[in-house]
Every structure is written in structure tokens, then in C-alpha cells.
């Protein structure tokens, strides 16, 4: 992705977040110059990859295969300094912008429609060979258990949520004609470097082509503490 594209997406989606009356923490708006002055007091942000995260999954087609994320809080499975056993994110998905089929080996998460349009989620169990099982899937939607066919699409309207346990393949996108969606994620500790099993192998983080100055650093770009 070009840095100019990343910057434009940040500006566009910050406006959408504000429109949804959701407030981000102050470090969301720390400039690169401010980050250069940050010491070890900001190590939790660096280590646990809090902050902005934009990806096109290496496809170069963000409008159809991409996601904007902001990690608000997170713990660590390896570093005893960061003992939070939970994480929280917001994600923004546009109409027919697909987040690829994947599951997590360890993380259980609740995916919440925080506002905007409708969120569509397709689900499958992982088969023994790591393929897509044709078994029925039991899911919890706002505390109510439902059994659906493999590959079923579940619609979440604003305020609704679904619980996704480990080894449950899922793919999601915003429903066409309803507008982009502000998605909440409340989960166990998040580890995007080691806990994503994509059905079709692909990179989780993009390669950035520097064609202009960063507006804000992404979560994998922070400079080391002074």
C-alpha cells in the first residue's frame, strides 16, 4: 500500500468514527514527531501493538479486501509486565469489503456491530485437515444459542454481537446498500503475529511504499524508546 493511501484512509475513517460518536484515546493522534520523543512510558503501546492498523492482506485491492483497525487495549501472552488477559479493538468494514476467511488458535472474541450498516459474518467449523467442515455450527448471538448450517451468513444489525471461539472459521463484510460498519471486538489477548490461521495463506500486515510523510504511525511502525 502507498503511504498516501494509508493517510487518506486514516482521515476518512477518523471522520466516520467521530460520526459514530466513538472517542479514541489520545495516543491515536500522536504525530511521528511526538513518537520520536516518547520514552519507555509508552512501551505498553509499542509492545502490545496498540493503535492504528490498516491492511489489504497483500492483495493490493483495499476496497474489496481490506480492513481499518484500532487496538485500544491489549495484554501479552509472553511478557509478564502486561498482565491484561483481554483486548479491545474497533474495526471498520465498508460495503462488500471482505475480511478473509480465518480462525484463531487461541483467541475467543465477541464481534459487535457498534453502528452504521449491517455486518454479515459467514461461519464454518475447522475440519480435522484444517479445511472448511460441512458440520452444523453452534453460535452464541447476544447470549442466545443458535445452530446454523456450515457456510451460513449471519446478519448483525447495530447493537448485535456474536461470539467466535477458537477454530471457528469466519469471514465478514458490510452489507451492500447499508453503509460501512463500526465493529467492536472484545476478546482474549490478541496476537496478530502468531494467532491467525488464514484459509488461504496471505500476509497480515502490508508493505508500505513511502510516497509521502506518515500522518500517524501504524502499530508495527513505532520507533524504539529514547
Instruction: Work out how many domains the chain is built from and give that number.
Output: 1
Q: Does some domain include residue 139?
A: yes
Q: Does some domain include residue 223?
A: no
The whole-angstrom separation of Cα 71 and Cα 10 is 14
At 76, which CATH number?
2.60.120.10
Q: Does some domain include residue 156?
A: yes
Summarised one tens digit per residue, pLDDT across range 6-40 is 999 999 999 999 999 999 999 999 999 999 999 99
Q: Does some domain include residue 25?
A: yes
Q: Does some domain include residue 206?
A: no
Average pLDDT over the chain reads 96
Q: Does some domain include residue 66?
A: yes
Q: Does some domain include residue 190?
A: yes
Q: Does some domain include residue 204?
A: no
Q: Where are the alpha helices (DSSP H) in 42-173?
A: 43-47
Summarised one tens digit per residue, pLDDT across range 89-135 is 999 999 999 999 999 999 999 999 999 999 999 999 999 999 999 99
Range(s) of the domain holding residue 75: 3-198
Amino acid at each position: 500500500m502507498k503511504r498516501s493511501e494509508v493517510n487518506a484512509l486514516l482521515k476518512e475513517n477518523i471522520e466516520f468514527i467521530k460520526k459514530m460518536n466513538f472517542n479514541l484515546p489520545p495516543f491515536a493522534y500522536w504525530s511521528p514527531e511526538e513518537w520520536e520523543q516518547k520514552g519507555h512510558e509508552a512501551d505498553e503501546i509499542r509492545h502490545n501493538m496498540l493503535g492504528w492498523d490498516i491492511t489489504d492482506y497483500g492483495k493490493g485491492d483495499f476496497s474489496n479486501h481490506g480492513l481499518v483497525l484500532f487496538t485500544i487495549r491489549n495484554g501479552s501472552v509472553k511478557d509478564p509486565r502486561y498482565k491484561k488477559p483481554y483486548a479491545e479493538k474497533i474495526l471498520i468494514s465498508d460495503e462488500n469489503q471482505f475480511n478473509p476467511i480465518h480462525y484463531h488458535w487461541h483467541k475467543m472474541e465477541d464481534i459487535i456491530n457498534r453502528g452504521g450498516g449491517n455486518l454479515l459474518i459467514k461461519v464454518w467449523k475447522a475440519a480435522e485437515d484444517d479445511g472448511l467442515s460441512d458440520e452444523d455450527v453452534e453460535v452464541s448471538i447476544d447470549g442466545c444459542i443458535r445452530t446454523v448450517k456450515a457456510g451460513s451468513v449471519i446478519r448483525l444489525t447495530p447493537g448485535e454481537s456474536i461470539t467466535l471461539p477458537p477454530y471457528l472459521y469466519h469471514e465478514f463484510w458490510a452489507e451492500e446498500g447499508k453503509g460501512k460498519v463500526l465493529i467492536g471486538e472484545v476478546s482474549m489477548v490478541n496476537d496478530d503475529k502468531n494467532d491467525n490461521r488464514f484459509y488461504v495463506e496471505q500476509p497480515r500486515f502490508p508493505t508500505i511504499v513511502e510516497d509521502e510523510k506518515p500522518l500517524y504511525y501504524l502499530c508495527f511502525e513505532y520507533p524504539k524508546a529514547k
